[in-house]
Structure 1
Amino acid sequence: MSADVAASLSVLALVVVVSDVTRRLLIGARADTGLAAYLGELVSTFQLCCCTHELKLLSDAGGIEPQLALTLTYLAAVVHGLTFRGAIGNPSGVLVHAYHARFPAGCALRRIACQFGAAAAARGAVRLVWGIGLSELHVRHRLLGFHCSSPVRAPLTKAAGVELVCAFAVQTVITCTQRLEEKFRVHAVAAAITTMVYAGGSVTGAVLNPAVAFSTQFLCTGPSFLENCFIYWLSPVLGMLSSVLLSDKVSAVLWTTSSSPRLPLSSKKAA
């Protein structure tokens, strides 16, 4: 294992541990108030964005093998799923919950605001960490002014389509695994995310999360702000909501079919 990889893994571990301790303390202290959910979104989205920044840097400039990058993506997704403690960390996911009336509109908007606030904070925090120079990779990145290039390698409509399809696929897995125990479900969702990163990563990075995209992609050279909004905000939301609408439609049809009255065999013969 190279020194750059070891340093990045140390940063990832530190972010997860500090975030988990902070989350437990804050939620425990505010458990009897309405702030616990919002604090959970703040800390969890911060954790997610910081880890994504580090993984993106390691993958883009660290020269690691694609297999290792995908493995780290899978492991990170599992860790996030096991430590979020009910937080969503994705504005698209909040909108899905709001669509199902699990959140009032005001609560959903406040959660999304917390997520984007945490995304902005994570962008500044990782630059402070990189500025310390824990590895040669961090030092090089600091000397380049923390410059990054957009992973978009396709025309606008194709890039948006990739994000939409990837978000659709991941949301479908999330919906289909709702009845699994959480310790098994996180692996299924992590596998879906990793598969989408493998399939669409070379086109858009397969970010699938508007808050994470805001933190990791919007300051990179490449598409304009509006183009990024179209690719990384609108497309994942449409993909997830399309999956939910289709799932609800299929469930309604199956429920209607299974609950429709059936005539006895003798009645059918008489008819």
Structure 2
Amino acid sequence: MAVLVVSLYVLLLVVITCEIARKLLCRERRGYEVYVAEIISTVQLCACSHELQLLSDDAPEIALTLTYVISVVHARTFRSAAGNPGAVLERYWCGSLSGACALRRIACQLAAAAAAGLGMQRAWAFELSDLHARHARSGFACASPIEHVGLLEAVAVELGCAFAVHAAATLTRGVEEKYRVHAVAAVITAVVYAGGSTTGAVFNPALALTSQFPCTGSTFVKNILVYWLGPVLGIACSLLLFNKVIVAFTSKSTSDKDQNLMKKRN
């Protein structure tokens, strides 16, 4: 119970600190606030994910429940920030971001993710709980979850996780925001439960950079393919399905109905 209380306080402190920083630094429109928001929101996402990942070793059920809660909190506080290079690439592919802006936002996310990882190590070094103390004594070492997993299987899991989350976000775009965030959070929790034991279910290249790349048991190239290529392919497949295949099929069906109706009238 003491471990859980400390982790809850850490999560609460991270969210409150980041929200205060957003309100102070992003309230003036000077052109750079979108990058500041990306940095702050990515720090929030990665710091909370690190704490939950650590907590999952001792209390996986509680960590999974908190994953749902913190996903809702992220969705309600991030505003226009993505916190995920895959989401930035989606906006670029859809034409809402220029290439230069997308690259700058991704650079901000990667830098913020690295900073969050170092910041959490500093926080764990205070050994506020037994969980933190054990992790600090191990030198913050971690083992890669894909050490004994085949490359294709690992890529498929990360692809599937990213596809499922993006599909949920796409299908709920017409839903009122206060309900939509819970639907997407539920899907995120489900994919973390389903894929967590295989790859960690990261589906975020920035988060993977700081949570999986430093771990032993996997190579840099394998991490690139699994944690960077996999999620990008998952989002690309979702975009292809919903923006191309389904739209084309729907347009064809509508066209066929109109032609049949015209034939009947004639």
TM-score (norm 1): 0.93
Return the offset for 1:268.
Answer: 3.1
Task: Say if 2:114 is the partner of 1:120.
Answer: yes
Task: Say if 2:227 is the partner of 1:232.
Answer: yes
Return the offset for 1:255.
Answer: 3.2
Rounded Cα–Cα distance in structure 2 between residues aligned with 1:79 and 1:209: 17
Which of 28, 41, 46 is residue 43 of structure 2 equivalent to?
A: 46
Return the offset for 1:252.
Answer: 3.1
Task: Say if 2:98 is the partner of 1:104.
Answer: yes
Task: Say if 2:203 is the partner of 1:208.
Answer: yes
Which of 253, 260, 263 is residue 257 of structure 1 equivalent to?
A: 253
Rounded Cα–Cα distance in structure 2 between residues aligned with 1:79 and 1:143: 31
User: 1:160-199 counterparts in 2 under 5 A?
Assistant: 160-199=155-194
Give the aligned residue type for 2:25: L
Which of 136, 143, 150 is residue 142 of structure 1 equivalent to?
A: 136
Identity, in percent, stands at 50
Rounded Cα–Cα distance in structure 2 between residues aligned with 1:184 and 1:173: 12
Task: Say if 2:51 is the partner of 1:57.
Answer: no
User: Can you give the 5+ residue segments of structure 2 that lack an aligned partner in the other structure?
Assistant: none
Task: Say if 2:214 is the partner of 1:219.
Answer: yes
| Counterpart position of 1:32 | 29
Give the aligned residue type for 2:129: S
Rounded Cα–Cα distance in structure 1 between residues aligned with 2:118 and 2:265: 75
Note if contact 2:56-2:64 (Cα within 8 Å) is conserved in structure 1.
no
Give the aligned residue type for 1:23: R
Give the aligned residue type for 1:147: A
Rounded Cα–Cα distance in structure 2 between residues aligned with 1:263 and 1:195: 43
How big is each residue's C-alpha offset from its partner over 1:3-26, in whole Å with a ceiling of 9 and x where there is no partner?
111101100000000001101111
> Aligned residue pairs: how many?
263
Give the alignment's Cα RMSD to 1 decimal: 1.5
SS at match of 1:139: helix
Give the aligned residue type for 1:7: V
TM-score (norm 2): 0.95
